[in-house]
Structure 1
């Protein structure tokens, strides 16, 4: 009996040894072929079986591989399934390619969270970098124009450095803020940053049209959000340097159509030529030589052919911008790194306008351990522009130039006696070249965006994330208006503007705006039978701060010396300062049934300092439901005319603190620390308030 037991024991040990001899351990890493980022949660299967594992937060996996098999099969939603021939190798490096135009694709939903495109119950669009960079735009906003349904990009100023308003959900407030929230690498940023981001740094921009974004970013996102993701490193291991240069010419796209048959003259009952008139109701052009304007003090007068001139069109210059970009990217097994810089120079279509911008950005990802990952990003930008502060007047004065006037002859208003404000022919509108040069806006803007993020995956079903983001914008602005004293002779002419001297002015302003955002996010997944549960909890703290000092004085004692002390008048000064804080708690539950029915529930409660102390808390929920019949019913999968069908519905109640202004501070900001009453000081009374 003992002999038999011993034989059985020896046989079992031999079988176990043989079994171990027929398997080996395969380690590997799964990354995106597009971005190089690790893919967490990818399925790694032994081909032809249901045996397998999943990648961890760093995209790593380890699997016991039998000698009877030959290939691994790697799957992930939104990516092409890939097989890997094991052979004698013990390490597998897998790069998955994105399924083009796939509704299985995983997309960003905000705050660093992702979801299947088909599972999303809100309107959402993702614009890839290739689409943004098609025409090498000067800034990100112009690259977005016309690419997103419902996205309205409005230029609120013109020139070499225009400002833009980005509106997604229409004009929902008559006096408040209707702009979409701007988020760069999960950091809330001022909308002005859109004109200063380097387009070459962008990976993609996700546009969240629905109000559901408010659950992730607070009430500031109730108008929708633009989620901008930037590059973090090379897509594969190694080192890469890119250098690009592009030049763009621009011109005024269109001007009002004007009549080209008649010259200077008032709207009388019969056409009479008036040499100094801006209206164009005079006699028809006949090619004769006519006088324009009034005689100068020495008796000379200017003459021109009485024919239509293209002067109004020729006034606008050919704009030019040149941008040079340099980037360095690297990737190793445990980290990635990206360093980029760009310098841009531009001249505008308005004479004398010029602009330059310099940006630098560093970002990267470090896999500190198998369970702990850090992500960081820092971005700095500085722009300087020298533009006219009276662009509207310049445009108006150009339009009020009669057709026979060769307007470009008046550019040299210093040496040409007929181009000076004294000698200019038009008695109602000054020389637009002089107006553009005499009224200047010299502005320097500095931007800083930075964030650091730590993500910990204690298990394959739970991850926690802590993130601190900081943005600041500093602005130095000087507005100047030059002195010009009209001659006594000019003051006797029938003019509406030459009887008053231009006494000059200067205005200095310094302002800064900062935003600190702290996020804590916990995310868990759980599968019960055929239902997948995703739970997300969010805690957020936001602090906004704004400070500004502005001083202005009119009447310069010494021409061309733009200093607040250069006046016999007292400067008007103000210095407001604002501070606001918001604390938010949010929860999100996503349910997926058999990958064709999706339910998403969110709820958020905010406490904000800008409301009355007794009523600072407000709650806003949302819900969305998506159903994909083409995945639910087998009969629909074989219909050639139907590739994909999705039904979705949603409901939300949005909390928004829109108190009648476009700032974040509302009625309960700190009072201005200093202001000066109109008309003061007077008779020893300061007229100041604190």
Structure 2
């Protein structure tokens, strides 16, 4: 009996002992780098489980684990460390730098990860921190000044500005020149990055040349911007970010304030005029309204009101809140985020709000890894539109308000005693407040993107990936155009705008995009010195869109904008388009000793936009990369890293759908009653149309100097030649068309890019990092076709040549150029005047210069002191011009500064000469112009070269000051990380003296005809904000 009890007690003891061993306990410690400094953000995982955590700001961690468990410590750029849990509850870890791991984060074409040393071309990266310092709602604007070879243009200002991204200059004369946007391997549309939540982005990789992007096919002929979104890491956490921002008008055009209204035809005052060609301001009381029958009239001092136009604008605002819930380990991860922005513009009543949501997850089944990513975008905008009896933009009406009229007292145009439509001074153009209240554009944007992929690993060197993506995008626009009517008549009126009826327009754009890739990847060590990486893939891409556009005029119910309430016929159109492309591609890289890399690639596409004979087109590429500091170990010392590379490739760019087919459209005035009609396009299509092809060459050097690459940089030179340009040429109308789209011509781009990054100062508590990037760009139209020396690129008018200013491509010249009307000049460029002293207009348009910069310099500065970070970005662009249509408009209004330089009296035209009668010229010092008032300046207004100005600009784009709280303090508040900051955007802009009017970056649209500013803009703004980020 005693023996039996003994064994029972022993069994119970062993059971309790084993249970005690298996029980979890809290394991804690500190993780440091090889220099003993704490490492924040290190991932710690209990191997074989989903339990994980991360180190805090001071490198501390704590995790629940059992004796016998293994803890895996991993961090980018450090060698992974594993430690077994024993009796001790404290495990401290010192990690060592892993140079190989540092190179594993470069994302290239198709999402393929490569070491930088392997690449034979230039790839630039921008991380989340650089994108979110100043909380730009539009992510594209946050890229400006940060990457060489990348030109970012904000096309217009306002609550939802449009943008343009061009890498290494223009390659196509009339085709698309913007970079392809790829989100997590899915090729999206060109504006997708505008809509993406910057907080969702982990990193952006920029593949600048065709050498880097050929595997994406013809869509990537202009380079690729690859966005990798965040994935969950570490233990589950919640991050909340809140931002508040104020927007103020930066500057308005400088206007003359000496002369007031009047001037037609004798220069006398006409109180109800809008143009300032009258007498000097003298402070006397003048009429500011029509006169009632009883003699009442509104009188105001005839003096300019300081800040009158600027007072029309308001302080804009942004409230933005974001939420993220994420976590993960090596086995699985998840992320859910939502972000909402609410914006009120500087233009009264202009509003914009947007919501972004994303859900992303991954699970590793062992040999099979599956991930999915779904994002949703929704925005609503309510902005003032073009309107009034001349369909003008708001800026026009504002600048046609005389400086002595108190514009904010005109706000009550409906019932005000002297400010209502019937009696106000607005005799020729509508009151800006009327435009704001009645001419509105309201639109809704909705986009959903779904991406899913499955990667199966057959062996340790062979795998296959299937990736499928689909997006649905809807743009729904409603235009409101209120009518103008009068409720009573005055006995005598100076002038009056004719009444017009309200109208409305509905525009609905629906598009979808499908993309699938099947990629087989091999990564095999052939020997100790040889490694081969190969990818073989198949791609299907399909895009569709449909547009319905309907306008109803003469609406019968005031304030009710519905096409059903119109009188007369509806005006409408419907357009649809389908496009398909199939491609196969391959890429192979041979590594020799991990210091010499040989790469070859090729892709063949079949495009539905080309005829069967030309539908298939192939483009190859190849390159070499050599790292002498690894090949010859003795080189390492002060020089830590050196790489030289060269690549060459050919990429295709197919035309848009139906480019080789003649199309029909409904002409104006049809349907007429019950009679429908279609008209044949006046532009014929070449049935043998071929793709544009771009041949690219690139050579580069990358280096790192001193320990930890304290000074690093890259130097690249490139050349691209695009042949078979698709452009229209004039043909005989006897053919049934006036123009023919065909292949002709060649455009060349050459450039130099330099990127430098350095740590100027560094100590335990202080560091100063400086980055400089430089881009030199040169272009030339090498050829067009026989008998054609020039091709019109575009402009904002239906006939830009007749208007007098146009963007062109000209043989033997840089691209693009602007040509305008001009004066006759002598060989020294001096203006030739006639016997009356007036400048003589030229009979032909004259080239004024190119409209893209010769070079761009970007400067990025980061200073850290303990928890404080000061960050700034600036860029400088020069070597180009732009046409300022805004000044053209001000000339008509009589508000330009130069129109008063002579006191509105005759003067000697600057830099002018007159004929000596013997083919020579005499400097003009005494021949005065025939006048200095409205008649002279109206003629001056016809010469558009007067409004071409130097587009050089220096911008302080971003400044931020942030503070990261000590984690011990934050933890007392129940917060893991806490960061607060203040920031400013576009705080300073320097422009040459001849540009006192607007931002030269603005353009009339996002197409190739850049350098053409218009009145369809709002004034530039400065932005000031504060932000808070808390992680729980």
Q: Could you say whether these structures have the same fold, taking a TM-score greater than 0.5 normalized by the shorter chain as the test? A: yes
1:389 to 366, 385, 390: 385
Aligned residue for 1:565, secondary structure, equals helix
Residue by residue over 1:286-327, the C-alpha shift from the partner in whole angstroms, topping out at 9 and shown as x without a partner, is 444333344356643222233332111111221111111111
Aligned to 2:540: 541
Matched, 1:331 2:331: no
Q: Distance in 1 between matches of 2:148 and 2:491?
A: 57
Q: Distance in 1 between matches of 2:97 and 2:309?
A: 52
Kindly tell me: are residues 509 and 73 of structure 1, through their superposed partners in 2, closer, same or farther at Cα, counting changes over 3 Å?
closer
Matched, 1:241 2:271: no
Superposition pairs for residues 154-233 of structure 1, below 5 Å? 154-233=153-232
Kindly tell me: are residues 635 and 285 of structure 1, through their superposed partners in 2, closer, same or farther at Cα, counting changes over 3 Å?
farther
Q: Distance in 2 between matches of 1:99 and 1:284?
A: 75
Which stretch has the larger CA shift, 461-470 or 99-108? 99-108
Cα offset, 1:609, TM superposition: 0.8
Q: Distance in 1 between matches of 2:367 and 2:110?
A: 20
Cα offset, 1:248, TM superposition: 1.1
1:501 to 473, 476, 499: 499
Kindly tell me: are residues 182 and 285 of structure 1, through their superposed partners in 2, closer, same or farther at Cα, counting changes over 3 Å?
same
Superposition pairs for residues 370-409 of structure 1, below 5 Å? 370-390=366-386, 393-409=393-409
Aligned to 1:430: 430
The answer to whether the 8 A contact 1:34-1:98 is kept is no
Q: Distance in 1 between matches of 2:98 and 2:531?
A: 23
Aligned to 1:665: 657
Cα offset, 1:101, TM superposition: 13
Aligned residue for 1:275, secondary structure, equals coil
Cα offset, 1:279, TM superposition: 2.9
Q: Which has the higher contact order (CA 8 A, sep 6+)?
A: 2
Residue by residue over 1:385-433, the C-alpha shift from the partner in whole angstroms, topping out at 9 and shown as x without a partner, is 1111229621122122222222222222223243333333143332112
Q: Distance in 2 between matches of 1:359 and 1:551?
A: 30
Residue by residue over 1:465-494, the C-alpha shift from the partner in whole angstroms, topping out at 9 and shown as x without a partner, is 001100110122111111212467479744
Aligned to 1:354: 351
Q: Distance in 2 between matches of 1:449 and 1:98?
A: 38
Cα offset, 1:266, TM superposition: 2.7
Kindly tell me: are residues 116 and 133 of structure 1, through their superposed partners in 2, closer, same or farther at Cα, counting changes over 3 Å?
same
Q: Distance in 2 between matches of 1:288 and 1:226?
A: 61
The answer to whether the 8 A contact 1:453-1:467 is kept is yes
Aligned residue for 1:562, secondary structure, equals coil
Cα offset, 1:506, TM superposition: 1.1
Superposition pairs for residues 56-71 of structure 1, below 5 Å? none
The answer to whether the 8 A contact 2:77-2:102 is kept is no
Aligned to 2:419: 419
Q: Distance in 2 between matches of 1:609 and 1:283?
A: 65
The answer to whether the 8 A contact 1:519-1:539 is kept is yes
Aligned to 1:4: none
Q: Distance in 2 between matches of 1:417 and 1:687?
A: 51
The answer to whether the 8 A contact 2:81-2:95 is kept is no
1:526 to 502, 524, 527: 524
Q: Distance in 1 between matches of 2:456 and 2:42?
A: 21
Q: Distance in 1 between matches of 2:505 and 2:471?
A: 27
Kindly tell me: are residues 606 and 409 of structure 1, through their superposed partners in 2, closer, same or farther at Cα, counting changes over 3 Å?
same
Q: Distance in 2 between matches of 1:221 and 1:378?
A: 24
Aligned to 2:109: 110
Q: Distance in 2 between matches of 1:253 and 1:183?
A: 34
Matched, 1:308 2:309: no
Kindly tell me: are residues 87 and 383 of structure 1, through their superposed partners in 2, closer, same or farther at Cα, counting changes over 3 Å?
closer
Aligned to 2:646: 649
Cα offset, 1:570, TM superposition: 0.9
Kindly tell me: are residues 535 and 687 of structure 1, through their superposed partners in 2, closer, same or farther at Cα, counting changes over 3 Å?
same
Cα offset, 1:154, TM superposition: 2.4
Point out where structure 1 has 5 or more consecutive residues left out of the alignment.
1-31, 39-70
Point out where structure 2 has 5 or more consecutive residues left out of the alignment.
1-38, 46-69, 681-1032
Cα offset, 1:615, TM superposition: 1.6
Q: Distance in 1 between matches of 2:414 and 2:99?
A: 61
Aligned to 1:53: none
Aligned to 1:446: 446
The answer to whether the 8 A contact 2:78-2:101 is kept is no
Which stretch has the larger CA shift, 334-343 or 621-630? 621-630
Q: Distance in 1 between matches of 2:264 and 2:641?
A: 65
Aligned to 1:460: 460
TM score, norm. by length of structure 1: 0.81
The answer to whether the 8 A contact 1:155-1:163 is kept is yes
The answer to whether the 8 A contact 1:366-1:374 is kept is yes
Kindly tell me: are residues 585 and 567 of structure 1, through their superposed partners in 2, closer, same or farther at Cα, counting changes over 3 Å?
same
The answer to whether the 8 A contact 2:128-2:203 is kept is yes
The answer to whether the 8 A contact 1:477-1:508 is kept is yes
Kindly tell me: are residues 143 and 34 of structure 1, through their superposed partners in 2, closer, same or farther at Cα, counting changes over 3 Å?
farther
The answer to whether the 8 A contact 2:44-2:74 is kept is no
Q: Distance in 1 between matches of 2:177 and 2:336?
A: 34
Kindly tell me: are residues 99 and 334 of structure 1, through their superposed partners in 2, closer, same or farther at Cα, counting changes over 3 Å?
closer
Q: Distance in 2 between matches of 1:292 and 1:197?
A: 49
Q: Distance in 1 between matches of 2:122 and 2:299?
A: 63
Aligned residue for 1:251, secondary structure, equals strand
Q: Distance in 2 between matches of 1:341 and 1:74?
A: 30
Q: Distance in 1 between matches of 2:94 and 2:660?
A: 53
Which stretch has the larger CA shift, 554-563 or 149-158? 149-158
Cα offset, 1:508, TM superposition: 1.1
Which stretch has the larger CA shift, 391-400 or 563-572? 391-400
Aligned to 1:5: none
Aligned residue for 2:270, secondary structure, equals coil
Residue by residue over 1:205-239, the C-alpha shift from the partner in whole angstroms, topping out at 9 and shown as x without a partner, is 11111113443321101111111111121x21x21
Matched, 1:512 2:497: no
Residue by residue over 1:231-285, the C-alpha shift from the partner in whole angstroms, topping out at 9 and shown as x without a partner, is 121x21x21112221111112333211223333343878x643312333344444
Q: Distance in 1 between matches of 2:175 and 2:474?
A: 23
Aligned residue for 2:176, secondary structure, equals coil
Kindly tell me: are residues 585 and 380 of structure 1, through their superposed partners in 2, closer, same or farther at Cα, counting changes over 3 Å?
same
The answer to whether the 8 A contact 1:206-1:228 is kept is yes
Matched, 1:627 2:626: yes
Which stretch has the larger CA shift, 418-427 or 648-657? 418-427
The answer to whether the 8 A contact 1:523-1:536 is kept is yes
Kindly tell me: are residues 87 and 239 of structure 1, through their superposed partners in 2, closer, same or farther at Cα, counting changes over 3 Å?
closer
Residue by residue over 1:344-390, the C-alpha shift from the partner in whole angstroms, topping out at 9 and shown as x without a partner, is 1111112211111122110011112x111001100011111111122
TM score, norm. by length of structure 2: 0.55
Q: Distance in 1 between matches of 2:358 and 2:662?
A: 34
